[in-house]
A = this chain, B = another copy of it.
Amino acid sequence: MGLWQIDNTLRESLATAERPIWLLVQLGRTLSIGGIMSNTGSDELEITLLPSGRRLSILRGGNLLEVLRANGFVLESDCNGMGTCGKCRVKFESGAPPSTSIEARLLQTEEIKQGWRLACRHDVVGPATITLPVTQEVLKTKVQQTEPLQETELNPGASVESLNLTPPDLDDQRSDTERLSMESGGEVKLSLCLLRRIPSILRSCHFKVSVVKEEGNLIDLVPNDHVQGLYGVAIDVGTSTLAVYLVDLETGEQLSAAASRNPQVKYGADVIARIHHIQERGRQGVGELQAVVLEAVNVLLKQLASEVGIQTSSIYKATVVGNPTMIHLLLGIDPSAIGHSPYVPVLCKRFSFQADEIGLGISPCARVEVLPAISGYVGADILAGMLSLSMRYRDLVVLMLDIGTNGEIVLATGNEMLACSTAAGPALEGGSISQGMSALAGAIDHAQIRDKELIYSIIGDAAAVGICGSGLVDLIAELRGIGLIDASGRFCKTEHPLSSRIERKDRQTLFLITNGKSRVYVTQKDVRELQLAKAAMRAGIDTLMDRAGVSAGDVERVCIGGAFGSSMRVGSLLCVGLLPPVQREKIVAVGNCAGQGAKLALLNCRMREKLEELASRTEHVELSFVKSFRESFTKHMRFPEND
């Protein structure tokens, strides 16, 4: 114990070091100098990841899912490692551990033989080569094509004004702040954070500065020759997708937009899984979730700014929308109470604060305005969408749908506005489906039966590895159309040639889509999951229509928001009965109308009152209370009869 052998790498480092060196040593484990790490024990293992070929050196004993996540790989895991969703599949090319009983249930025998395992079920106990599904690589999400910026009065409440202050002298000993206030038109409020920056800015430019003001607050000082303009961002924090829009607040022009996946998905696919994570981890969990989403938003902000050639520090206003849980997490507020009855958020009204209070990467004293929500599940995103649609479809009877794990439904009749949220479950986003996945490369996103052949499209330049929500709805609608699925939802063999694709395997019935590189199929259970989801949506819609005394024929527009609206085929939605029987031409995809609403509020601060008015005029219908909802739900578990 008294003497130590130092290995060759270390010896070399020591011999060539020019300054005293600090050694950080953990006895019996590893010995490192600076960046050099050498293995002295046997606790460190190497894992090779395909297709990238990346190698990870990791300590024995870590959970594989956590290790992969910690190294930046986004693996889907709806259940967040609980071993119930079967999504975190990886394929061991070598070094596969024995399979578990959970895998026997969630994977097919053949797959297990091929080396497929669930990452969450295994600790790292030996070296291995592992293939990650293509889709697990982090993909840059495309911003949905948005309709042109809606017309609104340009009144952002923010302004930049050049001042040529006279520097102080013995005749004019006014303080810096008094000088600024008086020369920029009277009393302004300002924060400590700006106050600290004032003396150096003023003196760096000999008092030739521009002041940026936002509704009576002085929020920045910029030397006149550094002024880049006055920009704002609208931020839509979706459960799956983050979207940011960069707008010139002086012209009202949208300069650019960008989106990425919400990295919180690694803690759970939906709000409930994320709340579950927080309940396990407490305050620290809130911090983790806040940190990852902020980091991702900040990356988007930098990307947009560099695209347009400005500094993020000249972004002086932000409006934020999202569902209440996402908003709570962005602000670092524990959303747990939203997760269980009576589903109460901490915050519902409009709330504003300074960017640096959460570390949002724009001008530090810029005001960030979280737009108001209606309830714990009908959030700022829905209300902002209503704002945008109310301006487009004034006085029409409009049904607005946001389809996801939670489906939000708004019915505006001109007289009244009703809103509800219904737990559709993750099926429509590819969750809880045996080979379901998000709309990423390798996902089957559309299917059609033409000339008795099944044709389908795959996202990206990839082989099919799974099926996403739109693909699932299409496929089931088509199979229902040719009678391979009956009105109760059961697979039925008929004389149709595609009947041969209905197989019985591992005690379940499935429909095989492709037997290519991967086997992709839909099981009987998957059909049931879709029935649950569409029944929940439809029962919500019917409940609001009943309440308002509106029939399907009265509906003048059905607006489907988000990626779902743009990707889903209207015919399929009608065929499975998710939508009431309205004329196809009345059904429109409205893109990210939440983002549109956030932009409206960014460009015109009067929209605030409009949002508050909308919120107060909207009746939130809590479906748990409505008896007819349950009846309608049971009824709509069935598919509509074929015409």
Contact = CB atoms under 8 A, between A and B. Distances in A.
B26 A14 contact: no
A14 B1 CA distance: 8
A169 B625 CA distance: 12
A15 B178 CA distance: 67
A341 interface: yes
A23 B23 contact: yes
A168 B343 CA distance: 9
Contacts of A26: 20-22
A372 B174 CA distance: 13
A21 B176 CA distance: 55
Contacts of A25: 22-23, 25
B3 A170 contact: no
A2 interface: yes
A21 B27 contact: yes
Interface in A328-351: 331-334, 336-337, 341-349, 351
Interface stretch (A123-131, A197-205, A557-565, A570-578): A197-205
Nearest to A333: B196
A506 interface: no
A14 B334 CA distance: 44
A594 to B, nearest CB: 19
Interface in A364-383: 375-376
Given A25-B23, A199-B334, A346 B192 contact: no
Given A1-B15, A6-B3, A20-B27, A346 B198 contact: yes
A176 B625 CA distance: 21
A393 interface: no
B28 A199 contact: no
A29 to B, nearest CB: 6
A24 interface: yes
A624 interface: yes
B200 A334 contact: yes
A505 B358 CA distance: 66
A495 interface: no
Given A6-B4, A168-B342, A173 B622 contact: yes
A346 to B, nearest CB: 5
B20 A29 contact: yes
A5 interface: yes
A211 B24 CA distance: 50
A608 interface: no
A406 to B, nearest CB: 15
B331 A192 contact: yes
Given A24-B24, A27-B23, A29-B20, A174 B357 contact: no
A195 interface: yes
Contacts of A333: 195-196, 198-199
A191 interface: yes
A604 interface: no
B336 A199 contact: yes
A196 B336 CA distance: 12
A347 B196 CA distance: 10
A28 B192 CA distance: 46
Contacts of A349: 175, 177-178
Interface in A479-503: none
Interface in A177-225: 177-178, 191-192, 195-196, 198-200, 203
A345 B176 contact: yes
Nearest to A4: B4
9 contacts: A3-B5, A20-B26, A173-B620, A176-B344, A178-B348, A192-B357, A192-B358, A199-B336, A203-B337
9 closest Cβ contacts across the A-B interface? A175-B348, A168-B344, A23-B25, A176-B346, A170-B342, A175-B345, A192-B353, A199-B346, A4-B4
